[in-house]
A and B are shown apart, each in its own frame.
Chain A
Amino acid sequence: MNSRNEEARPAVAARRRGRATLRAATVSVGAAGLVTAGVVAFTLPGATATSSAAAAKASTPITSKATSKAASGSSKATASPTASSSSLEPSSAPSSSSGSAQTTSGAS
């Protein structure tokens, strides 16, 4: 292994530790959690819990450096219904209209 890789080792180890802690927390969520494809650990409300073997073995409690600034006027913690659905949801088709438009939709 060259010196560059040697230098990278601590950073890689730290990142792995971070992933392990996050996996542990995600697994503890139970039915609300979703872990996909080993390195992926994001959750969506209503998703079915699955986990990798590595994640299942992890038990270290998650710790937070909590450096965020809460946005003013923030929303409720609940996600929108959209965030929980598992497909792009169609609506009834638009109807053709001959009237004058009330608004426009294009790129901006």
Chain B
Amino acid sequence: MGTAAAGDDTEALATAGWKALGTMVQLIVTEPGQLADGRRLLAADLAAVDAACSRFRPDSELVALDSAPGPVEVSPLLAEALMVALRAARLTDGDVDPTVGGAMAAIGYDRDFPLVPVSGPPLTLTVRSVPGWRQVQFDEPSRLLVLPAGTRLDLGATAKAWAADRSAARLAGALGCGVLVSLGGDIAVAGAAPAGGWRVRVQDMTGRPEDPPVGPSAVVAIREGGLATSSTTARRWRRGGDVLHHILNPRTGLPVPACWRTVSVAAASCVDANTASTAAIIRGSGAPGWLAGLGLPARLVDEAGTVHTVGGWPAESSGT
């Protein structure tokens, strides 16, 4: 944790970084004196989200659903995460589907990613549609959930982004300053932005801003909402001759074929940005038109490294 002021900033920003939810956490505040309190609040928020939503913790509330025989009353926190996930499924016509948990485990992603063996023996990959979000029965007022037998939920496509939104808003209110929360590159901002906005470098893989990017990158500034990037270049592993990654097509239960290596989207919230960026990877060649139709500013990088922008995202020269 430390206080950092970028070279051309006229105001000091304080930043802290650590790991949680199996990913890198970054907190930036516009009032350095608020950093310690902000970190404490954010760490508590993320611990609660992890206990409710982790697919990899045997004691999580989500994992307990796997063996629940009937209607289960879930906690308010998991209820909110579920509603966000189901909304994402509905708004993407099922491209972002929370019932991919079983399919994800079947291709080898069944533990925190650093523990997934980079290579292994061949897998028999079976094309099989996931159970589908439409089979999930959830009653919001009673928070009762019924899952079809054998259905395993994976909230990974939305939970981090939703957690970033939730905590950014809470911290900005509690601290009375501008706040940026990044959970593995899923970025939410709240409160008054610094002069010039929050400067974010979009790239294939989330990393430290002081390190050089790998692959095409661009620096943009946002003042509100969220920004998220999805990519097939991260979380990859090999089984036999097959290279696998973590973005599945729910209609096949298999990793989506390569079209876009990386998609970044800005939206009114981080979870909307992440929902759109993930769906764009799955939609392939239809993604630019879909994003433009929604009015979502987006940057898409194809397999050759050529950059495409839509929705008012600043144009850039390819390969920068």
Contact = CB atoms under 8 A, between A and B. Distances in A.
Interface of A: 11, 14-15, 18-19, 21-22, 25-26, 29, 32-33, 36-37, 39-45, 62-77, 79-83, 85-108
Q: DSSP majority for the B interface?
A: mixed
Interface of B: 6-9, 13, 15, 23-24, 26, 28, 44-45, 47-49, 51-52, 59, 61, 64-65, 68-80, 82-84, 86-87, 90-91, 134-144, 146, 148-149, 162, 165-166, 169, 180, 182, 184-187, 196-209, 213, 218-235, 262, 264, 266-269, 271-272, 275-276, 294-297, 311-314, 316
A-B pairs, 7 with minimum CB distance: A108-B184, A107-B234, A93-B312, A107-B231, A101-B201, A94-B220, A71-B52
A93 B169 CA distance: 20
Contacts of B143: 77
A97 B21 CA distance: 30
Contacts of A68: 61, 64-65, 68, 72-75, 78
Contact of B134 (A11, A19, A40): A40
Contacts of A71: 48-49, 51-52, 61, 75, 77-78
Given A94-B297, A95-B314, A64 B134 contact: no
Given A64-B73, A66-B72, A82-B272, A19 B137 contact: yes
B157 to A, nearest CB: 12
Given A44-B140, A91-B225, A63 B71 contact: yes
B313 A91 contact: no
Contacts of A18: 70-71, 137, 146
Given A42-B136, A77-B79, A102-B15, A64 B206 contact: no
B269 A89 contact: yes
A64 to B, nearest CB: 5
B182 A103 contact: yes
